[in-house]
């Protein structure tokens, strides 16, 4: 398949497999989603979902969270990894939301990325999943599969995001990034398939013989 044919096939196949992909992180509003995404850095969504119920019982809004001590937050989020840094960021961004955004999560990339602990990928997830703004967050799963499917050269996640946005229509970005994540976890994981075994890899590259060595994000 040429690149355009691959993109169309992948798009259709993923939409057939996951017509309504759920958001992996449990949340009830933009603030709890923002906190969950922040915690998911270098941590699995499953572990985050185990930890956030206790965290949100402690505080589930910026005003209450801003009043908590960093040590209180840290004692709960410690299993997520990088906990001291994440706990400090959660406390600080909650204060900023109160002081600068009237207690609401801002609806722009620039304002989100100015918050402590919030990079472009986290901002993209919030913009996409909380506000339905067209975005294509690229995590390690998407970065890996985009390389296995030759949709990008894997130079970095920034380039991967640009390439995927170019290959797929904008009205598919929000759902497609979730569909790729689910497919990556269930059919084309990091330490299996290697671009050789799953249905999409075999269909797109039937002559491929050697494992695909992907560049890390």
The pLDDT tens digits of the residues spanning 11-41 come to 999 999 999 999 999 999 999 999 999 999 9
pLDDT digits (tens, 9 = 90+) for 126-146: 999 999 999 999 999 999 999
- Predicted pLDDT at 191: 93
- Predicted pLDDT at 2: 94
- Predicted pLDDT at 19: 97
For the domain 30-129, what is the CATH code?
1.10.340.30
Q: Provide the CATH topology of domain 3-21+136-204.
A: Endonuclease Iii, domain 2 (1.10.1670)
pLDDT < 70: residue spans in the chain: none
Q: What is the pTM of this model?
A: 0.93
- Predicted pLDDT at 83: 85
Q: Which residues contact 115 (CB under 8 A, 6 or more apart)?
A: 89, 93, 96, 97
Residue positions annotated with a catalytic role: 121, 139
Domain spans in the chain, listed from the N-terminal domain onward:
3-21+136-204, 30-129
């Amino acid at each position: 398949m040429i690149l355009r044919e691959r993109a169309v096939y992948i798009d259709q196949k993923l939409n057939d497999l996951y017509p309504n992909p759920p958001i992996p992180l449990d949340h009830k509003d933009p603030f709890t989603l923002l906190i969950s995404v922040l915690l998911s850095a270098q941590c699995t969504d499953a572990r985050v979902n185990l930890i956030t119920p206790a965290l949100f019982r402690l505080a589930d809004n910026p005003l209450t969270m801003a009043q908590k001590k960093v040590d209180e937050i840290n004692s709960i989020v410690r299993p997520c990894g990088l906990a001291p840094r994440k706990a400090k960021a959660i406390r600080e961004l909650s204060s900023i939301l109160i002081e600068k955004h009237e207690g609401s999560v801002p609806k722009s990339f620039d304002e989100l990325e100015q918050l402590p602990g919030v990079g472009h990928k986290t901002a993209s997830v919030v913009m996409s999943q909380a506000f339905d703004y067209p975005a294509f967050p690229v995590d390690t799963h998407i970065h890996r599969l985009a390389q296995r499917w030759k949709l990008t050269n894997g130079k970095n996640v920034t380039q991967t995001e640009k390439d995927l946005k170019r290959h797929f229509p904008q009205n598919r970005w929000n759902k497609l990034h979730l569909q790729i994540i689910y497919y990556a976890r269930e059919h084309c994981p990091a330490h299996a398939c290697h671009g050789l075994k799953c249905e999409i890899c075999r269909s797109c590259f039937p002559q491929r013989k050697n494992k695909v060595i992907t560049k890390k994000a």
